Amino acid sequence: MWRVRLLYRRRFRMTLGRWLVRHQREVVFEKCQWMGVPALKNPLDAWIYQEIIHEVRPDVVVEIGSGSGGSTLYFAHLLEILGNGVVVSVDISRDTFVAAHDRIVVVTGHSSSAETVERVRELCEGKRVFVIHDGDHKRAQVLEDLAAYSPLVSVGSYFVVEDGIVDLFSLSGMGAWYDGPLVATEEFLAANPEFEADEERERYLVTYNPKGFLRRLR
């Protein structure tokens, strides 16, 4: 038994930062799935998503950037449990997208192109909307998408900007060489007081989305 205790004590001494780097390097791209479909998410953030969806009861979940579609399918299953809503998956390519569900609506195109934004706006018109950004993480593109899609977010609902964690780490960890989502989010919040960062959604500490759970106040 002492060997087992020693093993787990060593694991539990790992810092949060080291855990995040390990998850990024060894887990998320190879081992994180929803119902067999790759889902590049921190599972603690996924838990927060189900809380938000249960509370907000959106008619539309707009997912900007879907990859293989594991998270898209996850959102569709949550909406199926609630008995209402669709997931609008926005992505520039469907080369790896394999998710299939009656509650998934696919919009293929660049997230900030006029055609794509207009199509999503049509699907959201008159609906209660929750938006998640997991597309291009460079600051300029995140700001473009925030400007284009934030007006669709319903009061009391959220615009979640994912992966601001890259702005907090060095390149040797899980950081990026460019200004990313967290930098864009800070700029957006400074200019848009109708949104606030809901830091209660970061209560599990290990989040990929620092200051990224943006709740619309008015």
SS (H, E, C) 122-151: HHHCCCCEEEEECCCCCHHHHHHHHHHHHH
pLDDT attached to residue 170:
78
Those residues with Cβ within 8 angstroms of residue 208's Cβ, 6 or more apart along the chain or in another chain: 41, 42, 45, 162, 163, 164, 165
Domain boundaries, given as residue ranges, for the chain:
33-216
What number of other Cβ atoms are within 10 A of residue 132's Cβ?
Answer: 27
pLDDT attached to residue 188:
98
pLDDT above 90: residue 2: no
Q: How far, CA to CA in Å, does 12 sit from each of 8, 101, 141?
A: 6, 39, 38
DSSP letter for each residue of 32-55: -EETTEE--S-HHHHHHHHHHHHH
Q: Taking residues 190-218, what's their average pLDDT?
A: 97
DSSP 207: -
Q: How sure is the predictor about 118, in pLDDT bands with cuts at 50, 70 and 90?
A: very high
pLDDT attached to residue 26:
92
pLDDT above 80: residue 216: yes
Q: Taking residues 19-32, what's their average pLDDT?
A: 92
pLDDT above 80: residue 139: yes
Among the four given CATH numbers 3.40.190.10, 3.40.50.150, 3.40.50.300, 3.40.630.10, the one describing domain 33-216: 3.40.50.150
pLDDT above 90: residue 173: no
Alpha carbons 12 and 7: distance in angstroms, whole number: 9
pLDDT digits (tens, 9 = 90+) for 55-113: 999 999 999 999 999 999 999 999 999 999 999 999 999 999 999 999 999 999 999 99
Spell out a b/e string for 8-32, using b for 16 or more CB atoms within 10 Å of the CB, else e: eeeeeeeeeeeebbebbeeebeeeb
pLDDT attached to residue 65:
98
Contact assessment for residue 212 and residue 162, using Cβ atoms and an 8 Å cutoff:
yes
pLDDT attached to residue 92:
98
